[in-house]
């Protein structure tokens, strides 16, 4: 009898498991729309030119890879603070903003979960639906995880009234996870006016906002996409937010992200930082050097930062183009209200890398089995994986299963 005899087989990850099935598929036309990775017009994971420049400079002057401080590379956390909150932000000048380096956005969420768990009432709310890993991360942190309404069940769009009602019903001290932009998986974002209402409800209810920002720059731009965080900061109440550079700098494997906590004063910030450092020390001790060095170099150099924003704009606009072409292609294939089928025009109104197509689980299974087109059972596809060579095939496949 082995000590591991009682270990059960865990279910496959709902997203990464799709990649395993995709790789085993023998269909020469197969398309992976499951994993959330931006691909260029050639279907390749890009190396941004601003990143390439920095890495060439680093290669010409290699340095020892010593341990970073527990809270991360100072040049990195300094630049991230300015990028998200603004160089002239009062919270920076008054030493009220804590920024620590984490293992990308997922690591930031886990540190945030472990930090917030003993401070609130033990309950955390996610949007329904939300990124699949949110549930697992916060359950592991010890939260009782619930949901608030987000995607309207009977139509394509938000159930904003339901969202507000659920947030109003939440008990004081409940942590509320909100997507800063490019909501994953639906692609539906809140308007400025809707954000104002959410901020008011969260503040009035003494809830704890945790704003997850995995796609900064993919909705409107790096400066515009932080509006939700800034609206919460403007209330003067504490706010927690995460940052990831996986997508917007195409640094997925470098695992480079940050956790930020805006406090009421410098003394509170010092105490918060001390506790975050304890959590990081016991989880990973310290973070990797390379990704942080690259991000700090790009953000601190005017020319490189300008190049980054231009490259990011190119990625953002390509995704929007793929949305429009998907809608047009489906219409051309007969998927129109006039033909008694669902009008898919809402896809072009969504933002970010993902689209909630409205297809059923049965239709998504048929897409995989008949056409080799892979998306999640809930109907989510990665629009950023579409390109000239596969979009007509994908349109044909979706039209067929509809």
CA nearest to 298, candidates 45, 59, 88, 83: 83
Would you call 29 a catalytic residue per the annotation? Answer: no
Q: Which of 156, 166, 247, 371 is catalytic?
A: 247
Query: Is 265 annotated as catalytic?
Result: no
In sequence order, what DSSP letters do the residues of 24-39 get, joined into one string? H---TT-EE--S----
For the question of residue 247 being annotated catalytic, the response is: yes
Beta bridge pairs of residue 382: 354
**Cα dihedral sign, 153-155-158-162:** negative
Give the integer Cα–Cα distance in Å for 260 and 230: 12
Strand 256-262 vs strand 239-244: parallel, antiparallel, or unpaired?
Answer: antiparallel
The catalytic residue among 212, 225, 231, 371 is 212
Residue 231: C-alpha distances to residues 1, 36, 236, 241, 264 (Å): 58, 28, 10, 12, 15
Q: Which of 131, 195, 308, 371 is catalytic?
A: 131
Dihedral angle over CA of 93, 99, 105, 108, nearest 10: -140
CA distance 347 to 344: 6
Instruction: Assess contact for 100 and 276: CB atoms under 8 A.
Output: yes
State how far the alpha carbon of 53 is from the alpha carbons of 47, 60, 301, 309, 382, in Å: 10, 11, 11, 15, 28
- Sign for the CA dihedral angle at 113, 114, 116, 120 comes to positive
Distances (CA, A) of 167 to 28, 81, 175, 238: 47, 28, 10, 18
Strand partners of residue 167: none
Structure tokens, 279: 């959590």
Question: Which backbone phi and psi does 74 adopt, to 5 degrees?
Answer: -60, -40
List beta partners, residue 201.
none
Q: Which residues are catalytic?
A: 131, 212, 247
């Amino acid at each position: 009898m082995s000590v591991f005899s009682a270990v059960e087989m865990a279910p496959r990850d709902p997203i990464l498991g799709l990649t395993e099935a995709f790789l085993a598929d023998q269909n020469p036309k197969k398309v992976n729309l499951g994993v959330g990775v931006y691909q260029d017009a050639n279907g390749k994971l890009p190396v941004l030119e601003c990143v390439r420049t920095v890495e060439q400079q680093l290669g010409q002057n290699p340095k020892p890879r010593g341990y970073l401080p527990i809270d991360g590379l100072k040049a990195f956390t300094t630049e991230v603070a300015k990028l998200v909150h603004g160089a002239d932000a009062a919270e920076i000048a008054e030493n009220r903003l804590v920024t620590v380096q984490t293992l990308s956005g997922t690591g930031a969420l886990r540190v945030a979960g472990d930090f917030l768990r003993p401070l609130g009432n033990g309950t955390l709310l996610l949007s329904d639906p939300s990124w699949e890993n949110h549930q697992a991360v916060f359950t592991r942190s010890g939260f009782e995880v619930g949901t608030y309404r987000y995607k309207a069940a009977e139509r394509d769009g938000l159930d904003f009234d339901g969202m507000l009602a659920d947030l109003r019903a939440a008990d004081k001290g409940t942590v509320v996870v909100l997507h800063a932009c490019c909501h994953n998986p639906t692609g539906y974002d809140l308007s400025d006016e809707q954000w104002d209402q959410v901020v008011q409800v969260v503040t009035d209810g003494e809830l704890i906002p945790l704003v997850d920002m995995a796609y900064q720059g993919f909705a409107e731009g790096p400066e515009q996409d932080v509006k939700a965080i800034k609206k919460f900061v403007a209330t003067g109440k504490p706010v927690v937010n995460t940052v990831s550079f996986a997508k917007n700098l195409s640094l997925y494997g470098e695992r480079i992200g940050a956790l930020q906590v805006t406090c009421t004063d410098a003394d509170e910030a010092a105490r918060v930082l001390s506790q975050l450092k304890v959590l990081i020390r016991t989880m990973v001790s310290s973070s990797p050097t390379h990704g942080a060095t690259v991000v700090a170099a790009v953000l601190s150099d005017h020319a490189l930062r300008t190049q980054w924003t231009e490259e990011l704009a190119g990625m953002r606009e390509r995704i929007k183009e793929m949305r429009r072409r998907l809608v047009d292609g489906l219409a051309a294939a007969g998927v129109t209200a006039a033909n008694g089928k669902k009008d898919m025009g809402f896809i072009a109104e969504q933002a970010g890398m993902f689209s909630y197509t409205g297809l059923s689980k049965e239709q998504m299974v048929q897409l995989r089995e008949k056409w080799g087109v892979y998306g999640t059972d809930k109907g989510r596809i990665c629009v950023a994986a579409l390109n000239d060579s596969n979009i007509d095939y994908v349109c044909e496949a979706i039209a067929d299963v509809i």
